[in-house]
Chain A
Amino acid sequence: MTVNVAGRAASADPLRGQPESAELIQLLTPEGERVEHPDYPLEISVDELKALYRDLVLVRRIDFEAIALQRQGELGIWASLLGQEAAQVGSGRALEPRDMAFPTYREHGVAWCRGLDPVRLLELFRGVSHGGWDPKAHNFHLYTIVIGSQTLHATGYAMGIQRDGAVGGEDGEAVIAYFGDGATSQGDVNEAFIWASVTNAPIVFFCQNNQWAISEPLERQSRTPLYRRAHGFGFPGLRVDGNDVLACLAVTRKAMQAAREGQGPTMIEAFTYRMGAHTTTDDPTRYRLAAELETWKLKDPIERVKAYLVRSEMADEKFFEGVDAEAAEVGTRIRKACLEMPDPEPLRIFENVYAEPNAMLENERDQYAAYLESFETEEAR
């Protein structure tokens, strides 16, 4: 397939045979029963299944530890991913190392899959940095806090991939843009859809619909199922069981491969649930019923994988104990690293604002340095 960066229709059928209404794509039921889907055959080994289970448990443990650290005053805030582990691990493990991911501030599970040390995430939420990891080292961009902005960055990056001739062929690259249900109301997300569509960009829009934009339920964001929005923009939209790690893996893999091959964008709506608060500053009891949470607990993303592993006798008690022990170790390690994290030096305020010399800013820094030094001199007296 030729890649036309000017955006002429590269595919004869932009929806690629996508039916107008698709059911929730599921490969593993909440009860832990493996089901087949004709469009998403998934061959997965026992080891791979166990690895996914391990990811899910470890990611939840990191989240748990971070919430605890916030409660103890060690983090300023934390945005919990509780309940969204399968959406993040499934999609995260569908990526090739050469693919690029653009996260929101809740993608701790994707960060884990990209090999980023969770301690780097804690730096941000502790207020030591605004992020500061090297996005190129993991092909994992910095967390974007403004809702939806990163979808345009992801689209532009995908346009760059096209210009580099890195679409199609064996080593094709693609981009995945993460965002939530609330972000679908943002102009930037809709503009990203338009740009990606008309340029046929190699991108997957991965929307974790966790049902709540802080206190606003989905019905205040959309009168149409979110995945159907894509059809109006001219590319396929799918709804996947976001608590099913296997379905998220299979669907994302296929969409990413289509993007890498030059077939253009896909939107995936991972239908999931934010089981915790929006962030640690939020109190969801003010706006939602406990019964809703109880219903979703029955669809827990981790329990179903465990049930499947147990029922199929693919893992024994020793395996689960091992994963739990590793999770405890990770928790201990990141806690220790968080507590030992030094505060940045005050003059770091002035660093990395510009690439080029800036006399005005240097002057401000020098004046402030002298001011700070005046206290030290006084104390020395």
Chain B
Amino acid sequence: MTTLTLSRALNEGLRKALENDPKVLIMGEDVGKLGGVFRVTDGLQKDFGEARVVDTPLAESGIVGTAIGLALRGYRPVCEIQFDGFVFPAFDQITTQLAKMRYRSLGQLSLPVVIRIPCGGGIGAVEHHSESPEALFTHTGGLRVVACGDPADAFAMIQLAVNSDDPVLFFEPKRRYWEKADVNLAGGVAAALPLSQAKTLVSGTDATVLCYGPMVRTCAEAAIAAAKEGRSIEVIDLRSLSPLDTETIFESVRRTGRCVVVHEAPVTGGLSAEIAARVTEECFYRLEAPVLRVGGFSTPYPPSKLEEYYLPDLDRVLDAVDRTFAY
């Protein structure tokens, strides 16, 4: 086991992917010499060359559009979008081309493209640097959407994403980049939890809390706090946002009878709304309370001096859990 930051774990995962398959490429703004603004690709261009770790012009649609062309030629590009709020210039290529090419071609074309997106707030950034646009992509058939929440998952999941023959939107919790944990660098991805599966982080009996990405740690801490007050919360890191691991979700909620979904993104039309609808449909007679959502408000992301009020935290998670006991 090696203790690594989440950023470094991603770096090691990408390094493995580059080593394992000469068709794997990394491309994005400042990913080469600089090593990425979060240093996720640090040192990779030096070791794998400028043809495989590509500093691109500053245009996101161009990054994704040329990645599609490279994939059509047999390459497996991993694109970095520098910040969540900059994915929108690429939105057209992602939703109209990347997501649909397999369907359009009746399965004759594969686009094994990974799009890495540092996401979420909590770093005191200016506008467009703290967003959580995942629901825009989970709404789009043909894309897989995943989010890593800790270094061990970051290391394994990025490799699994590169191995996938489907396009994968890979969300990275930017405020967790520097948090450390043990990672088994020798562990092969074959033994890792499949990309499509959720992970039960904390087992519990009284309520199920579903979360992903930057909220994983927040919810795990909430479970510890709740335990001190005698309440047993089960925390599930969804990992895969599209498709959802509904089996794991339903099994847990049927057991606990209560469900709270937590994400940084606005709740309106968010992934939590989708989960709430599905849980209600599948676990109706086992629910003791409505499914509650904790997330961002239906506003643009606020200036950073207000983000602590906007972002879900331990207290808001516990408040929602408490409210499920009021029914």
Contact = CB atoms under 8 A, between A and B. Distances in A.
A129 B103 CA distance: 9
Contacts of B247: 359
Contacts of A192: 62, 65-66
A342 B141 CA distance: 26
B65 A5 contact: no
Given A188-B93, A195-B66, A355-B165, A153 B72 contact: yes
A117 to B, nearest CB: 15
Contacts, number: 151
B61 interface: yes
Interface stretch (B104-112, B181-189, B212-220, B225-233): B104-112
A158 B69 contact: yes
A164 B51 CA distance: 11
Contact of A161 (B57, B73, B102, B108): B73
A159 B66 contact: yes
A360 B66 contact: no
Point out which of B50, B103, B242 has the most chain A C-beta atoms below 10 A from its C-beta.
Answer: B103
A206 B106 CA distance: 27
Interface string B57-73: 10101101111111111
Nearest to A175: B69
A135 B111 CA distance: 14
Interface of A is mostly: helix
Contacts of A157: 69-70, 72-73
Contact of B68 (A135, A153, A352): A153
A191 B108 CA distance: 27
Given A149-B97, A358-B243, A359-B247, A135 B69 contact: no
B89 interface: yes
Contacts of A146: 92, 96-97
Interface string B147-190: 00000000000000000111000000000000000000000000
B66 A356 contact: no
A187 B110 contact: no
A142 B75 CA distance: 19
A263 interface: no
B144 A354 contact: yes
Contact of A155 (B69, B100, B141): B69
Interface residues of A, number: 47
A9 interface: no
Contact of A353 (B74, B97, B142, B165): B142
Interface in A136-153: 136, 141-142, 144, 146, 149, 151-153
Nearest to A163: B51
Contacts of A191: 57, 59, 61-62, 65
A12 to B, nearest CB: 21
B69 A156 contact: yes
A351 B96 CA distance: 18
A230 interface: no
A352 B102 contact: yes
A154 B73 CA distance: 10
A187 B61 CA distance: 8
B75 A356 contact: no
A131 B66 CA distance: 21
A19 interface: no
B246 interface: yes
Contacts of A130: 100, 103-104
B280 interface: no
Contacts of B54: 6
Given A152-B62, A156-B70, A131 B105 contact: yes
A160 interface: yes
A155 B247 CA distance: 42
Nearest to A151: B65
Contact of A132 (B56, B65, B67, B105): B105
Contact of A153 (B97, B164, B242): B97
A156 B92 CA distance: 16
B196 A359 contact: yes
A204 to B, nearest CB: 14
Interface of B: 25, 50-51, 54, 56-57, 59, 61-62, 64-75, 89, 92-93, 96-97, 100-110, 141-142, 144, 164-166, 196, 242-247
30 contacts: A131-B105, A132-B105, A134-B105, A135-B105, A136-B108, A142-B101, A144-B97, A146-B96, A149-B97, A152-B61, A152-B64, A152-B68, A153-B66, A155-B65, A156-B69, A156-B70, A159-B69, A159-B70, A160-B72, A162-B51, A163-B51, A188-B93, A192-B62, A352-B102, A353-B142, A354-B166, A355-B110, A355-B166, A359-B196, A360-B242
Of all A-B residue pairs in the complex, the 9 with the closest CB atoms, nearest first, are: A156-B69, A152-B65, A160-B73, A156-B66, A191-B62, A355-B165, A6-B50, A352-B107, A157-B69
Given A130-B100, A161-B73, A195-B57, 11 more contacts: A132-B106, A135-B72, A149-B96, A151-B65, A155-B66, A188-B61, A191-B62, A352-B105, A355-B166, A356-B144, A356-B165
